[in-house]
Amino acid sequence: HHSTPWQATHHSVHPSIKGVTTSSMRPYTRSHSRLFKSSSASSSRVNAAHVAGVVVNKRYKKSRGKKKYKKLNESLLPVTARNDAKRWDAEELLSCNVYADGGNKNNKPIQPKKDDNKKVKIIFINKKELFVPKQHVEKKGNGKGLSCVQDGVYQFVLTPRDRSLEVTRVAVTGMQAKLIDAYCDAIDKGSNNKRGSKCSIKSNTAFKYVCAGAAPNRASRGVTPVHHVIRNLDQESQKMILDHFKGIERLFKEFLPTSTVQQVLGGIDLVDAETFTIANGKSSEIYASFAVGKNVFLNSHTDDDFTYSCTTILCSDESKKNVFLAYFCFPRLGIAVPLRPGDTLFFNAREPHMISSRTTDDVDIYCLSFYLKSKVIGGNDNKKELNEEQKYYVTLFDEMSGNKLN
């Protein structure tokens, strides 16, 4: 177990850690994590976990952080929306269900039905209603990615395509078809369960969608590490999905800032959180769950996630391997990131976002997301007391945030 500032200063309620002051830390309490005002044990664990990795990072990782910052600057091209792109107001996004039509001009427009009597509004990508960045697309090679920073926080990072395909191995002939088979098996074993009430999931083909992974128990305390859907898959499918998780997590560690990586790893370590686990006990390092849907598009929403979530799309049609098949949209930012099969996009789930419909209806695509719910970090157990180290970080969190949470 790493040596932490808590172990050195646990006798003090107001630590004086060299290079770490409550004022220098305050920006971290308004960031990409879903944090809580509640003082319950589960909520307190989330807030403590958020702070723990940041403190360790501030103290030990400055030189590594500078090297990483230089690398990210070289490999990720900055994105800001053009002035003519509409930026949707956050309240406007809450008052109605906003979807993105990613269809090319010849494609039939989407017609999503109303949910909860909310008005439906549609953004048309082909009418340039959002800015679509393509400066990373090169004739030779795909060595550049994209990043968008706003309010001092990375809102999204699209990793360089070459690296994404290499690390996840989806460029290997037949690999996407095999992965799709494994995820389709999960869909068939699941019950078309949906992520949450904030999210309206639509499809213009037969509805196929499932979420699976470590999840808070609904009728009892605690978190179940091996989801029943995963347990019911054959061993080869389980291994294939876990290897996909591990590839995605390698990209997370490579293309997100050191502070972000350290924050999530330190937080998971502090609370001993469950991550995605298969029946033989092997598990991922960062993400706890995945959601996968066939030809789906979602309304603009936010998620209560602890760290940056990830999205990628898969398509077994080899002729479409370098074609943009959907857009991942950030309506408040006025940006729609175009996605090819195997692209990897990390995003701030606290920023309103949604996946568009397909660019063309003549090919099936599978949209995947990987995430770590704040409730999984909290452990879903208010009767389980915090240990001394966790209590220390709760105190530190309260001092740093003044309880002004996002």
Q: Residue 114 — very low, low, confident or very high, per pLDDT cuts 50/70/90?
A: confident
Strand pairing report for 289-294 and 366-371: antiparallel
What pLDDT score does 192 carry? Answer: 60
Please give the model's pTM, rounded to 2 decimal places. 0.89
- Angstrom CA distances, 308 to 75, 164, 182, 351, stand at 19, 17, 24, 10
Q: Is the pLDDT of residue 194 over 70?
A: no
What pLDDT score does 89 carry? Answer: 92
Answer with the residue of higher pLDDT: 318 or 56.
318
Indicate the residue type of 54: V
Answer with the residue of higher pLDDT: 197 or 340.
340
What pLDDT score does 202 carry? Answer: 92
CB 36 within 8 A of CB 306: no
Indicate the residue type of 4: T
- In degrees, rounded to 5, the angle at the alpha carbon of residue 78 between the alpha carbons of residues 77 and 79 is 120
Instruction: Give tens-digit pLDDT for 150-190.
Output: 888 899 999 999 999 999 999 999 999 999 999 999 999 98
Instruction: Give tens-digit pLDDT for 99-113.
Output: 999 999 999 999 998
Average pLDDT, integer, range 37-55: 81
- Say which DSSP state 106 is in: T
Q: Is the pLDDT of residue 22 over 50?
A: no
- Say which DSSP state 307 is in: S
Taking the C-alpha atoms of residue 263 and residue 251, their distance in angstroms, rounded to an integer, is 16
Q: Where are the beta strands (DSSP E) in 171-295?
A: 201-203, 209-213, 215-216, 223-224, 289-294
Neighbours of 140 (CB within 10 A): 5
What pLDDT score does 259 carry? Answer: 87
Q: Residue 32 — very low, low, confident or very high, per pLDDT cuts 50/70/90?
A: low
CB 339 within 8 A of CB 325: yes
Q: Residue 6 — very low, low, confident or very high, per pLDDT cuts 50/70/90?
A: very low
Instruction: Give tens-digit pLDDT for 260-270.
Output: 999 999 999 99
Taking the C-alpha atoms of residue 49 and residue 56, their distance in angstroms, rounded to an integer, is 11
Taking the C-alpha atoms of residue 369 and residue 295, their distance in angstroms, rounded to an integer, is 14
Answer with the residue of higher pLDDT: 192 or 278.
278
